[in-house]
Chain A
């Protein structure tokens, strides 16, 4: 690396990045089963993006489901309160 621009006082090391990427990889369902060093940073990042999108979509779907459920039960019931607390 010919030029290193450090932002502020902290310089981010490559090792740091590698460690974070491996941590991220452990969270990913698809990449977790393989040996961690197999996945490249690019792949891990890509999978993370996809996974985050999937999770968000899932959360939205679940929210919809819960709202629908909420409409089917009495608002006074404890379930309703539970559901409400689940729905963001």
Chain B
């Protein structure tokens, strides 16, 4: 599925170019800059010298450029489910933030960070992951933990988040939850990052501020988007975003590893995952709305109603057309057995004035028509203008089937193709469900028994009924 989440795309596109530029501009220092693309770190701009894993990073970089376009889309979708776990990932350190926000996107270039080298470990491993959803993320955590222990210098990046001590705590926290660092939805992830960042006291302040900033970018677009959608059921997203921010900041700043923090984090994660789920659903609703022609409804329920109707009509249309396709080649003398019932079905459809999406007659026949032929006819008459059908009965009631041939009604013509006398009566009986047929059958249909289609038709709209039965089942 290539239906990229619009939010993601726009946001990411928005962020990506900046990041790229910035990373290239400032990324040649010791500062480790990660190219934030589509919510993930695709490029890691760092000095090769300092990297333990420069190869990985470099290769990632080269690969990233090539795959950026394709990967993000995968990652976007892949990340969705991982957001929750990832969210808990404390963003506190620069490396993490690098992944998330791309360097200079939100913060000014961080002060020269000499400790790039150990941190450089992080980006490369992190970058590689973006392709495969889960494993990399987990790896990221490990990475974080590692550099932390030897040295806490946060990998440079624009986020000047703190450094040593908070990192330790963060790292531990990070490693607790395997979470994709690269953050799929830029906005959402930033939010969570920020929140988690602020968890540690030391970094709380800066983390909070850092968190707020990037987050502030995100919430508005998603919020606006949601608002535009006008969908009521998913309305708490914007609100919850703001709430989450404040909540996170307040909570996080107070504790380091306490239960309340965990609880709050769990709650946030839950909220975020809920939000993501809702967003997914909203995207699909929008996509569906685009598919439905002339759908100007803004609320979910009516939109779904229209979708259901449209789907039914499309199914019917396809059925009728395929029937027509099969019928036409058979409208040759000799193919009598098959034709009559089909002809009748089609004739009915024609009579209905089928225009693309409409409920054809046959659909009504099988079960929807009341057993009473008269009632059925009346029913039919209500739904569809079937003036033509009234004619045949009159004609047929006449003396010989041959007269049917002269019948002007185009609807009847196809029926007359086979054996005019035969078809017409049958058609007639169909049109006027059972009445005329019953009357005509004994007299007007000389060949009925010889033809497979007749008897069933005679007794009931047999084959046609069967043909439409399935549909009827569906619609009924």
Interface residues of A (CB under 8 A from B): 1-7, 10-12, 14, 16-17, 20-21, 23-24, 26-27, 32, 41-42, 45-46, 48-49, 51-53, 55-56, 58-59, 62-63, 65-66, 69, 73, 77-79, 81-83, 85-86, 88
Binds A, one of B133-141, B208-216, B413-421, B439-447: B413-421
Number of A-B contacts (CB under 8 A): 158
Q: Say yes or no: B321 contacts A63, CB within 8 Å.
A: yes
Closest-CB distance, B413 to chain A (whole angstroms): 3
Q: Assess whether B394 is interfacial by the CB under 8 Å rule.
A: no
Q: Which of A5, A53, A77 has a CB less than 8 Å from the CB of B235?
A: A5
Q: Assess whether B312 is interfacial by the CB under 8 Å rule.
A: yes
Q: Say yes or no: B328 contacts A66, CB within 8 Å.
A: yes
Q: Say yes or no: B321 contacts A66, CB within 8 Å.
A: yes
Q: Say yes or no: B324 contacts A66, CB within 8 Å.
A: yes
How far apart sit A10 and B302, CA to CA, in the bound complex (Å)? 11
Which A residues lie within 8 Å of B315 (CB)? 27, 55
Which secondary structure characterizes the binding site on chain B? Answer: helix
Which A residues lie within 8 Å of B355 (CB)? 85, 88
Q: Assess whether B467 is interfacial by the CB under 8 Å rule.
A: no
Instruction: Please name the 6 residue pairs, one residue from A and one from B, whose CB atoms are nearest each other, closest first.
Output: A78-B413, A45-B284, A20-B304, A62-B321, A3-B239, A88-B356
Q: Say yes or no: B236 contacts A3, CB within 8 Å.
A: yes
Q: Say yes or no: B331 contacts A86, CB within 8 Å.
A: no
How far apart sit A58 and B428, CA to CA, in the bound complex (Å)? 31
How far apart sit A79 and B414, CA to CA, in the bound complex (Å)? 6
Q: Assess whether B41 is interfacial by the CB under 8 Å rule.
A: no
Q: Which of A10, A11, A41, A63 has a CB less than 8 Å from the CB of B281?
A: A41
Which A residues lie within 8 Å of B325 (CB)? 62, 65-66, 69
- Ordered by A's residue number, 30 sampled pairs between the chains whose C-beta atoms are within 8 Å are A3-B238, A4-B232, A6-B232, A10-B299, A12-B233, A12-B299, A20-B304, A24-B307, A24-B311, A32-B474, A46-B1, A48-B307, A49-B284, A51-B311, A52-B311, A52-B314, A55-B314, A56-B314, A59-B314, A59-B317, A69-B328, A69-B329, A77-B417, A78-B412, A78-B417, A79-B331, A85-B350, A86-B349, A88-B355, A88-B356
